[in-house]
Amino acid sequence: MRVLAMLDGTPADPLTPLIRVDDLGLTRGDGVFETILVVDGKPRELGPHLDRLANSAAMLGLPVPDRARWERCVQVVLDNWRGGGEMALKLIYTRGPEFGDGTPTGYAMGLPIGEKVLAARAAGVSAVLLERGYDPAIVARAPWLLLGAKSLSYAVNMAALRHAESMGAAEVIFTAADGSVLEGPTSTVVVASGRTLRTTPPSSGILRGTTQGALFRAAERAGWVTKVEPLTVRELKDAEGVFLASSVRKITRVHTLDGVALPETGALHKELTALYESEY
Ligand code: PLP
């Protein structure tokens, strides 16, 4: 089951070719995207996702996304979805055809949640630490590196996941050149210890996670302390629980890091999942 709507609100057949072969999103990865979880017809964190789309577009110098048009386009996909309770809703926004009139390409696509994600939600994942190859100090100095933009150039992220698989792990936690912890290729790292939740700040060149944001909101209301500050690998290894948060995977526990079993987090995972779900 797949549902597609173009940014002008026209529903389209997802199996019919629609993108021009010179689209810069296709030829150069020159565009931005979002993936949103929809449960029972309700998109989660749509506002923060549209904010992040706008922020990524600004970092790439793309035309400002028209929020009302995106909201209408999302509604067309929601209205046409017959694929069950959960959907992954992708928003794609590219610089458009290289030999066009400068109009960006935009569309929203509804997809089922993949089997791998469902398995990770249920059983947790093993992860390896891999170097991302930059020092957080470069983020402010080199905006052309697009660190912190959700650009379509995810080939490096996908390559890191394949590398992890070749090492027998399902997931990756990236580290920076200064040894600090960054994020996963498609997730935010959240560490729990003594009723404190911590995550790395976006100023380190990572995405501002909408799922982590929702979890921290709920946790603060329930009396947890939350901290957004640089994390060391030592803190990760010594934590009571390490989690990967993302829209489609929700809060997934990391049960093994670099081949070493982490503490059992069944009860903690249940509690954090309940906090996250209490937001909806
Ligand atoms: N970091 C990266 C690199 C991602 O690609 C994602 C989501 O796909 C996230 C973090 C988590 O963001 P969110 O919780 O908004 O889905």
Pocket of ligand 1 from Cβ distances under 6 Å: 35, 183, 185-188, 207, 209-212, 245-247
> pLDDT for 131-165, tens place per residue?
999 999 999 999 999 999 999 999 999 999 999 99
| ipTM reported for the complex, 2 dp | 0.99
Say how many Å lie between the CA of residue 101 and the centre of ligand 1: 32
> What's the confidence (pLDDT) of residue 1?
74
pLDDT digits (tens, 9 = 90+) for 36-62: 999 999 999 999 999 999 999 999 999
Contact 139, 39 (CB under 8 A): no
Distance 181 CA to ligand 1 centre (A): 15
Instruction: State how far the alpha carbon of 158 is from the alpha carbons of 95, 171, 195, 250, in Å.
Output: 22, 10, 33, 19
Q: What DSSP string runs through 155-219?
A: HHHHHHHHHHHHTT-SEEEEE-TTSBB--BTTBEEEEEETTEEEE--GGGT----HHHHHHHHHH
pLDDT at site 260: 97
**Cα(274) to centroid of ligand 1, in Å?**
20
Q: Contact, 185 vs 155, CB < 8 A?
A: no
Residue 38: count of CB within 10 angstroms of its CB: 23
Round to whole Å and give the CA distance between 135 and 157: 17
- Helical (H) or strand (E) element with 36: strand 31-39
Listed residue (103, 93, 98) closest to 151, CA to CA: 93
Find out whether 278 and 224 touch, Cβ atoms under 8 Å: no
Give the E-state strand segments of 210-262 in sequence order: 225-228, 241-246, 250-257, 260-261
The DSSP call for residue 19 is S
Domains and CATH numbers, the chain: 3-113 (3.30.470.10), 117-277 (3.20.10.10)
36 Cα–ligand 1 center, Å: 10
Question: How many percent of the chain have pLDDT more than 90?
Answer: 98
Work out the average pLDDT over 99-115.
97
Query: Three-state DSSP class for 37?
Result: strand
> Which atom of ligand 1 lies closest to the CA of 188?
10
| Mean pLDDT computed over 119-125 | 96
Asked if 262 and 143 count as a contact pair (C-beta separation under 8 A), the reply is no
